[in-house]
A and B are shown apart, each in its own frame.
Chain A
């Protein structure tokens, strides 16, 4: 309960960005800790999302009055004798009459139901508020009346109490202390009426009823008949859908693994879903999750995909887990790492709804773990998951030859062998950037832009892949062709151009950071948007070496070189020294990674004569220049997508003397050394935007990114040494002992071949099947 003064300021805070559903939605999603649910009045937001929906705010008091009157009538009807047993005694009805409609009989039945409910209400979580006597009675009454009102649902089901309790808590929190209300102030009357402490119970009932309108299906009672009915049980069906349809489509590898280790999804999903994840996360985090959920999905259609998103977040651990460990993970879901609290699962679910395929899954897995499933990469064309070392040795020795003697590159070789390394680095940087953007409330735009971009790339690659003939120069079987030195040079050129693109992005972001995000939000948004698109583009280029680069980037390199105060006189590219200084910062690693084997395919798939086919898409700042029109024919889908994207932002300010206009690309053969010198890496690492390079988000900070990030997601209780896997396997074999099991050859051992005689069970009779 709060004072009126505080409530007023919270009221204003709640509607600072407007009182329409859409405005509240946006505020909840993008304002982070300043969400109207956190700094304003959560109960009002929830009522708006669940109960009032599109009703204008002027109608709220009236709507509140109606629903309160409805609840009061319910109470009068069903709680009369329970609250006032003396009135029952005063009736002229024989308490022992055999009439099933006798009020005595009804009361007796009701008391049974209430006892069942009360047993759970008494066992609510530890929150002291829940255990106040008045609150317990309130929760009991609401649940009881809900069941009375919905007799077809099969009565009270365990779990409903834990959906209701947080609602009651939220409504009670926001109630206005009546003592602080001046009676004559009509301006405050709306606030005082909406948040009247006398109607906490009524309003909680209204919210709970609306929520249950969608959640009731999670609790659906089942006919108590044959075991066949079990198969048709709606919750089992839902679990099957989540596992065998949704997850199978989004992350087939994980879905298959869960099936192989015989984890039946309903075992853990039933609690996740029925409580709307109430037992999986901390209370405050849960409320934030519900905020987002109610805001965007009041009918709870995203629940299935939220479950999928939760599975994706721990998929690497799950893939290593056997039956027991997997179940333990599900029953004790590891708390999501801070920047991506549980509410982000709702964001993920919304994303998956629009990207209901493996590509969507890959994106999310990537986003949170920095690793990409090897098999399932759909955006990227399939690349060999393991590229033989000999190729790299050749590659490295070539580099050494051309660059002079260098120490052996033991650690770099390891990084080079991680196919996901580069993307992970970029993804990490992009992720950080997006998180910053989140705080500014601009992530939606960025996300939309990235989503569009992703579709663009996909479409583009699909059209290209048909014409693509041979891929995989360093294929596992085929030896490198004789022209490999040219290949490497081409690749290096390409890499440095990609690096230059990042350079520009980095500079822009640096400027943005330097500006302290002051000034127009719009402009910053555009800058971030463009940056995200560019990073994405570089990622795509690294994933698919056949993507040609836009030549416009070359001037950018030069421009940067000119402008950079840290420019060195060495004409050699920064790339060349990277392996030696790898550990100093993530930037170096990015550079190093830019020369991964992925790029080495460039010469095969993208011969030098090809530079005209370039995706101009991502250069949003140059999008409206003339020369792109020439390419419209070659890239129609991309072009059309561009026009749908946010208006082309102006070219972000560069600390540049002058950008060289459209310098024609030099013939590729001459690109033995990359054209533009690049500022030394130390400048980048020490710059004010070094936050983008936070080591903990880039798996590359360890020489073995895979193991590093894996151990990070592993819950502490479950981690084990290298022998874990083997033991996991052996324990699987032991499962063969369970004699309820009917699998494979072991079943013959346990059940069929030598059925237990009754004597074996302590001389007890085996149970006979009924009927």
Chain B
């Protein structure tokens, strides 16, 4: 853990059917690794990586869960505190795309209503097996107010971009909210001694080693 300095800590969860590549998206982003035979996730895994946005260090704490864990033991613990979700399907398995609706419902039921959601069509390397056209994913995303991207964890295509995009979205929401608070409501609603979140979080001090960690 060379890197314990950060300005913001965002918890982002990976959801989607079993076998769509959630764990490999995680390992590609946090360790730049891909394992064709990666073990199935039992319960939960997590990893972290820090990135820079707007000269701020954002530490992403990314949680990965077993695709089968829907409606199951750890659901509420899993979503608690999550500010972003990558909803992953496999472009070569139409069933995994059909199930996206069910995953969205689960988010509505268990996650914070302001959670930022990105739809991710993974395994674009399986071109010859594609079962879900890009347009379908795009359309579904815009209909449901999600952002959208297609990735390949195997080929390392768009993986960093996907995470960067969602983290940036979260960051913009948080910082704009903080600004609004500073402008308007601080005096009324907050004890000035407690300060506001921004100043509290920005005293993070010197930053080091923004590379992948864990």
Interface residues of A (CB under 8 A from B): 116, 119-120, 122-126, 157-159, 161-162, 221-222, 224, 227, 230, 233, 235-236, 264, 266-268, 270-271, 274-275, 279, 324-325, 327-328, 331, 717-718, 720, 724, 727-728, 730-731, 733-741, 745-746, 748-750, 753-756, 760-762, 764-770
Contacts and interface: CB of A to CB of B under 8 A. Distances in A.
A745 B108 CA distance: 25
Contacts of A735: 9, 81
Nearest 7 CB-CB pairings of A with B: A270-B43, A235-B73, A764-B145, A740-B112, A765-B145, A271-B43, A264-B77
13 contacts: A123-B40, A159-B42, A267-B44, A267-B77, A268-B43, A331-B44, A331-B45, A734-B8, A740-B80, A740-B83, A745-B190, A750-B197, A766-B113
Contacts, number: 198
Contacts of B54: none
A275 B42 contact: yes
Given A738-B9, A745-B194, A766-B114, A222 B72 contact: yes
Interface in B138-160: 145-147
A266 B72 CA distance: 11
A762 B18 contact: no
A737 B169 contact: no
Nearest to A121: B40
Given A750-B197, A756-B173, A270 B104 contact: no
A307 to B, nearest CB: 13
A327 B19 CA distance: 24
Interface string B23-42: 00000000000000111111
B35 to A, nearest CB: 10
B72 A731 contact: no
Contact of A720 (B4, B83, B112, B200): B4
B9 A756 contact: no
Contact of A760 (B44, B46, B176, B201): B176
B42 A267 contact: no
Contacts of A753: 181, 185, 189-190
A157 B11 contact: no
Contact of B204 (A119, A324, A720, A730): A730
A120 B66 CA distance: 11
B68 A157 contact: yes
B97 interface: no
A731 B9 contact: yes
Contact of B147 (A126, A267, A762): A762
A270 B43 CA distance: 6
A123 B40 CA distance: 6
A720 B113 CA distance: 37
B174 A749 contact: no
Contacts of A279: 39, 42
B113 A754 contact: no
B52 interface: no
A122 B5 CA distance: 40
Contacts of B172: 760, 762
Contacts of B77: 264, 266-267
A741 B81 contact: yes
Contacts of A737: 8-10, 174, 197, 201
A738 B83 contact: yes
B177 A760 contact: yes
B8 A720 contact: no
Interface string B103-115: 0110111111111
B138 to A, nearest CB: 14
A770 B6 contact: no
Interface in B2-16: 4-11
B148 to A, nearest CB: 11
B185 A738 contact: no
Given A222-B72, A235-B73, A264-B80, A736 B197 contact: yes
A733 B200 contact: yes
Interface in B53-93: 61, 66, 68-69, 71-83
Given A327-B46, A734-B201, A739-B174, 5 more contacts: A270-B74, A737-B10, A740-B79, A749-B181, A756-B177
